[in-house]
Amino acid sequence: MTTPSLQHTTVLLDEAVNALVTGADESYIDATFGRGGHSRLILSKLGVSGKLMVFDKDPAAIAVAEAIGDARLTIRHEGFRHVKDLPAASAAGLLMDLGVSSPQIDTPERGFSFRFDAPLDMRMDTTRGQTVAQWLLVADVNQITEVIRDYGEERFAGSIAKAIVARREEGVPISTTAQLARLVADTVKTREQGQNPATRTFQAFRIFINAELEELQQALEASLDVLKPGGRLVVISFHSLEDRIVKQFIAKHSKEEFDRRVPIAPNKAMKLKAMGRIRAGSFEVSANVRSRSAVMRIAQRLSA
């Protein structure tokens, strides 16, 4: 096997940090540290009294963060749902980059990619929780179908789930990435041009095993408390399920709420101001193909 490159190219680096940082002596949160591209640039823009707190589930990411050695940096080995634990109005900006980092994808033993034969793991935090292989040993066909359909938007979800359960009942359960990729390829009869037939199933299992969409929703709600008035929310999404949640959240809180049950009650004030959407430009896409699906949305916290 050829040793993969473990380099990571941060998507929308300058655009995200420029949208986030509004003052050199403020406090900011990078809720998805990854390999630290955004965090390093944020730190370079901060003054001596500026602060940056970073979150990540991945022990490998935490090790990278610890190696930075900057007194202005606080590191938390937790998922970004724990933004909710921070004091109210304590941050001038909150960044979430929802993509899987290249080292995670390109390290075979992490089990994120069908390009390598490895244990079917897919956990962001390898120190705790159930692997995908372990879950597939106990999940029934309806549960597996629902996950593949809802998180992978895969129209052959039912057929794939039945094939997985059939393998398990035959005494040869799916336990590696190569086994899963072959099973999906044998089951999916039509393929999207340029896409491996296992792409949607792998995405679905990764999202499910890490509770990614639930964590995103919790972190977005927490942002309303953690951001100070004028603070920026910057979120980079890489697939439609994530982007839809972010778009709907910003839209919901960017308009006054009218209580139809109590017509005389005053409208609830807007909590956010939508500040636009940015996509990677053609130069960035040509240099980093993984940026082609990235969508960055920006909002500003209004006065409480």
Which contiguous run of DSSP H or E holds residue 95?
strand 91-97
Closest CA to 120 of 6, 198, 214: 198
**Total-model pTM:** 0.90
How many residues are there in the chain?
A: 304
Rounded Cα distance between 163 and 28, Å, is 47
pLDDT in tens, the chain (304 residues): 333 445 678 999 999 999 999 999 999 999 999 999 999 999 999 999 999 999 999 999 999 999 999 999 999 999 999 999 999 999 999 999 998 877 788 788 898 889 889 999 999 999 999 999 999 999 999 999 999 999 999 999 999 999 999 999 999 999 999 999 999 999 997 777 778 999 999 999 999 999 999 999 999 999 999 999 999 999 999 999 999 999 999 999 998 655 555 555 455 678 999 999 999 999 999 998 888 999 999 999 998 6
Q: Domains, the chain, ranges and CATH?
A: 13-102+212-301 (3.40.50.150), 126-209 (1.10.150.170)
Full DSSP string of 52-75: EEEE-S-HHHHHHHHTT--TTEEE
